[in-house]
Amino acid sequence: MASDTQSMNASKRNSATSSLRHSQATRPASPHTPQQPIRSGSTSFASNTSPSSSFRSEDDAIIFEIGARSLRAGFEGNSTPACVVGFGPEDSRRAGDYRGWIQGSTGAARLPQPVDAEDWARAYELWRLDSREVDLGLVEDKIERAFRETYNQFLLTDAGTTRLVLVVPSLMPHPLLSSLLSTLFSRWRFPSVTLLSSATMSATAAGLRSALVVDVGWAETTATAIYEYREIATRRTTRSMKHLMQETGRLLTGLGSNNQDNTETNDGISVGFGYCEEISSRVAWCKSRSDEDTSSSKLNQTLSIPSPANPEQEYMDVPFSRFAEPTEKVLFASDIPEHEMDDEEKSLPLLVYNILLSLPPDARGTCMARITFVGGGSRIPGLRQRVLHEVSSIIDRHGWSPIRGKALERQRERLEQLKLSSQRPSAQTEAPKNNEEGSSPDEGPSDPSKEVPEIDFVEQKLRRQNKDTPVPLQGVLREVESLGPWAGASLTTSLKIRGMVEIEREKFLQHGLAGATRDIEHPVPDRRSGLRSGGDRSSWTLAGWA
């Protein structure tokens, strides 16, 4: 489906700018002065400091990936977390309250009255990103209990003895981060907590240095462009799993109440959250294109699901195609024209396209060939291909230009005529083309292909010098599978790579988050604990979280 456009893009973007950096960096060694003055300064500085805490016991660090809906925990070096623990009302019960066991699976039963979609999901999330709506004390209670039970049930080690690595989104409200850290530090005796950004870790777990990580998460979908392990841009949309769940809830509510008065059911959900989540995780799927013929033979099947009216006993037949509706409506917004959507609620393909558009061209070329989907939504079958397909069709239509509209069409026609009349000056129009003009769908692919033969001889020479090093793929839409942020953090930690943000217990307990230096160019602690001592340990930074 997306292959034709990919190949076209490949020809278009054919590594004209293919990383100078890369070919440069791996040039064979030539005679050189052993050390740069600055560099030697930095190393001597590092080695002069006392080997503070780098020779720590070789206990395996414990890695927690924490999100609004669930928590993953396990040991470094493992490929999968030891456990995945969800947050729900069952976890907020009093000790000795065994109602959940009496009533059977919670949230399965039909609710007596439709409830507001936001309230419906509220009990099932640990926090909201809007910290005005969050009772931080309650969050602390929940975190404490979740961590304690995870340690006691799954990790089976003494809590607080080893280093803790937290994988958190790079944009996290400070009150939440502060609550999280102060709970951990005051409850247990963790010597230090390392923060790792989930997007970068996802890229690492895919084996990439640069990637576009699309995290279809609970509260929002974020697209983060990683370039050489650095987050260079991030965009987010509220089209996410929460809305998908709410939409599925509405769909099931509609199915349950057989009368088709949608106006009445639209404002409330009357199916249980647990039931809805079960349905959504099992059978939600995504069409490969918006106009896919759902009446085709294989998709015309009906599926027998537990009836929304009485999930414990009855089953009801539902056309399989209906389970693609929430995905279609929420994540792709196929019923809303693009200009109607607010900036914060762009559909997933637009999100991906927009962030690629906002990148500098060579970063864009690198990132678009390394798109990685993580998060709960990436499990929906067909979703990822659909996003890539739609992105490539947007690129076909508009190229890499943010400018839309009729005036542009007219201008392009004029330019085209201009070009037809004089073939020579095309060299001059090339300059603007890179900035704004690569847009025209028919011109874009054709022109660069003509101009490519004018080869950069430096590039050629470099290429000849490093024949053995493969040229990184650029400029085509390609999806790379990632093992997820948790696995990335496990990899990174097991390789003894230290994170930028390593918060030591004593430092944090003195000043809390406010003790972090605001200095962006903070001296990086040495990343390998065993080999060399850390840098300046007297201060610490929050780096990207500051």
Partner 1 sequence: MSRPFPYTFISCPCADTPVPDPARKRRSRESPQKQSPQKPAPRPSTSEGEKKGTTANEQRDEDDEDEQTFDPRSPRSDFSLYPPEQLLYCEECHQIKCSRCITEEIVSWYCPSCLFETPSSMVRGDGNRCGRNCFNCPVCTAPLAVSTIENATGNGTQQGPWVLSCAYCLWTTLDIGIKFDKPTNIRSQLQKMTDATPPAAFDRSRQASRTLDSLKHPLSSSASVEEHGNARERERDIEHPAPKEDPTAPPMGADAQFAALKNFYRAQIAETSNSPNDHLSSDFGFSSPGALNRLMSLYTSSSRLGGLYGGNKKAKSKPPVMREALTASEGLQIAPKNGEADIIARLASPDCGWEGVASLDQRKAQAPNARFVGDLLPLPVLLRTKRAKRCKSCKHILVKPETKPQSTRFRIRLIALSYIPLPTLCPLAFSSSSALPSMAPTPDLDSLSPLRPIHVLLTLKNHMFDPVRITLATPPVTPGRVATKVTVLSPQFEIGANSDVWDEALQGASATSSGDSKSAGLGQRGVPEAGKVWDKGRNWTTVVLEVVPGTLPGSSAEGGDGNPETTDEDVVAVAASRKDEDVLEIPVFVHMDWDADAQLDQQNLGKASKADDKVTRELAYWMVLGVGRIQASL
Interactions with partner 1, residue window 99-118 (CB under 8 A)? 99, 111-113, 115
Interactions with partner 1, residue window 443-462 (CB under 8 A)? 458, 462
17 secondary structure, DSSP code: T
With binding defined as CB under 8 A, does residue 84 bind partner 1? yes
Q: Which of 7, 26, 435, 446 binds partner 1 (CB under 8 A)?
A: 26
Q: Which of 266, 310, 460, 510 binds partner 1 (CB under 8 A)?
A: 510
CB of 340 to partner 1, least distance (A): 29
Separation CA 394–CA 336 (nearest Å): 16
Is 267 within 8 Å of 320 (Cβ atoms)? Answer: no
Q: Which of 67, 121, 522, 545 binds partner 1 (CB under 8 A)?
A: 522
Separation CA 251–CA 356 (nearest Å): 33
CB of 104 to partner 1, least distance (A): 12
Interactions with partner 1, residue window 379-408 (CB under 8 A)? 379, 381-382, 384-385
Q: Which tokens belong to 326?
A: 């929430």
527 secondary structure, DSSP code: S
Q: Which tokens belong to 75?
A: 């040991």
CB of 443 to partner 1, least distance (A): 28
Interactions with partner 1, residue window 33-62 (CB under 8 A)? 33-36, 38-39, 41-43, 46, 60
CB of 225 to partner 1, least distance (A): 15
With binding defined as CB under 8 A, does residue 29 bind partner 1? yes
Q: Which of 58, 261, 343, 521 binds partner 1 (CB under 8 A)?
A: 521
- CB burial of 211-221 (b: ≥16 within 10 Å; e: otherwise) equals bbbbbbbbbbb
Separation CA 4–CA 81 (nearest Å): 38
Is 192 within 8 Å of 529 (Cβ atoms)? Answer: no
Q: Which of 336, 403, 452, 495 binds partner 1 (CB under 8 A)?
A: 495
Spatial neighbors of 442 by CB under 8 A, at least 6 apart, are: none
Interactions with partner 1, residue window 240-279 (CB under 8 A)? 277-278
Q: Which amino acid is located at 36 in the chain?
A: Q
Q: Which of 469, 536, 537, 544 binds partner 1 (CB under 8 A)?
A: 469
With binding defined as CB under 8 A, does residue 210 bind partner 1? yes
Query: Which CB, 246 or 307, lies closer to partner 1?
Result: 307
Query: Which CB, 93 or 412, lies closer to partner 1?
Result: 93
Interactions with partner 1, residue window 525-544 (CB under 8 A)? 526-528, 531-532
* CA-only gyration radius of the chain, Å: 26
Q: Which of 229, 325, 341, 546 binds partner 1 (CB under 8 A)?
A: 229
Owner of token pair 């400070």: 174
CB of 476 to partner 1, least distance (A): 11
With binding defined as CB under 8 A, does residue 95 bind partner 1? yes
Q: Which amino acid is located at 260 in the chain?
A: Q
Q: Which of 79, 290, 310, 446 binds partner 1 (CB under 8 A)?
A: 79
Q: Which tokens belong to 476?
A: 């085509």
Is 9 within 8 Å of 476 (Cβ atoms)? Answer: yes
Q: Helices 273-283 and 241-256 sit at what angle, rounded to 10 degrees? A: 110
CB of 387 to partner 1, least distance (A): 11
With binding defined as CB under 8 A, does residue 427 bind partner 1? no
Number of residues that bind partner 1 (CB under 8 A): 144
Owner of token pair 């129009």: 429
- For 121-179, strand residue ranges (E) read 164-168
With binding defined as CB under 8 A, does residue 512 bind partner 1? yes
CB atoms within 10 A of CB 256: 17
Q: Which amino acid is located at 197 in the chain?
A: S
**Binding letters toward partner 1, positions 139-178, x by CB under 8 A:** -xxx-xx--x--xxxxxxxxxx--------------x--x
CB atoms within 10 A of CB 35: 11
Interactions with partner 1, residue window 352-381 (CB under 8 A)? 370, 379, 381
Query: Which CB, 20 or 403, lies closer to partner 1?
Result: 20
With binding defined as CB under 8 A, does residue 15 bind partner 1? no
Is 363 within 8 Å of 475 (Cβ atoms)? Answer: no
Separation CA 524–CA 546 (nearest Å): 15
With binding defined as CB under 8 A, does residue 436 bind partner 1? no
Which window, 90-98, 341-349, 411-419, 431-439, contacts partner 1 (CB under 8 A)?
A: 90-98
Query: Which CB, 129 or 283, lies closer to partner 1?
Result: 283
Separation CA 360–CA 344 (nearest Å): 22
Owner of token pair 């070919």: 23
